[in-house]
Structure 1
């Protein structure tokens, strides 16, 4: 099983780029450890994250440097050969789901558990997400029963 659950802060401005027909955001998540070092400072890991397509859209639209987000993803490794003819190995978290714990206006909104109405940003987030969802086999079967072509 290869599944990560991370909560941390984005370390760079959120910028996307086009790769073929896909949008991608590469960023880094600062994740604090639970224990402190000898000086009493919290230790922090900086984990590269990669978000594709609708997840990239969501980050660009709703997140910025310093925002706290939750990420579910899988760790992937890759390598390349640098100019000194050395192999460089990279570990990245490929994002499968995102929870925005702060909005661009700084409030936690729905994620705080204190706001029982759906914030406007959350409605937009849900709409973008639905746009990219693939119907389940059960949904396709129901459409066919109802006379729709899947």
Structure 2
């Protein structure tokens, strides 16, 4: 059996950070995820999906996520229920996130894109991938010329060199 969900959307409000009586951090926020079609009036519709994060991930989300930020959430769907003050049974469906990626930096005007991996302390575990990418980026270029530089001259490529 499999219960896995991946969502990309924008926060509808700032995350709410709370602590359980045992001192465990929990953060709740809602993301708006666009539907892949428009309504009959041509307007885009969205689903508003509640997300819950726990422990270190909860504190990180509370510190760095803000209303309107584009965010990717990976986790599982959970349905819980409780009885409200009027004695009615209330059902709540939410995503319990174990990995959150910040797809925009804090400075939205700059247009830069920041992607934070879960292995850097921003997720509860799972895929790390991409750690240590920037450390050896320019070491080989200082010793060699750029092999893709054409200096303004035409490049001669035979049909045998093409992969298609």
Larger strand percent: 1
**Considering the TM-score relative to the shorter chain, is it more than 0.5?**
yes
C-alpha deviation, 1:98, in angstroms: 0.8
Larger helix percent: 1
Give structure 2 stretches of 5+ with no counterpart: 127-164
Q: Using a 3 Å threshold, how does the CA distance of structure 1 residues 97 and 127 change in structure 2: closer, same or farther? A: closer
- Match of 1:97, SS state, is strand
Partner deviation per Cα, 1:76-131 (whole Å, 9 max, x = no partner): 011111122110000000001011001222244343xxxxxxxxxx59x865349x
Partner of 2:46: 44
The correspondence of residues 15-54 of structure 1 with structure 2, limited to 5 A, is 15-19=16-20, 20-54=22-56
Contact 2:74 2:99 in 1 (8 A): yes
C-alpha deviation, 1:14, in angstroms: 2.0
Q: Using a 3 Å threshold, how does the CA distance of structure 1 residues 7 and 89 change in structure 2: closer, same or farther? A: same
Partner of 2:12: 11
**Any runs of at least 4 consecutive aligned residues in structure 1 with deviations exceeding 6 A, and if so which?**
none
Q: Tell me the TM-score normalized by structure 1.
A: 0.72
C-alpha deviation, 1:43, in angstroms: 1.3
Q: Using a 3 Å threshold, how does the CA distance of structure 1 residues 45 and 17 change in structure 2: closer, same or farther? A: same
Which of 83, 86, 96 matches 2:85? 83
CA RMSD of aligned residues (A): 2.3
Give structure 1 stretches of 5+ with no counterpart: 112-121, 135-150
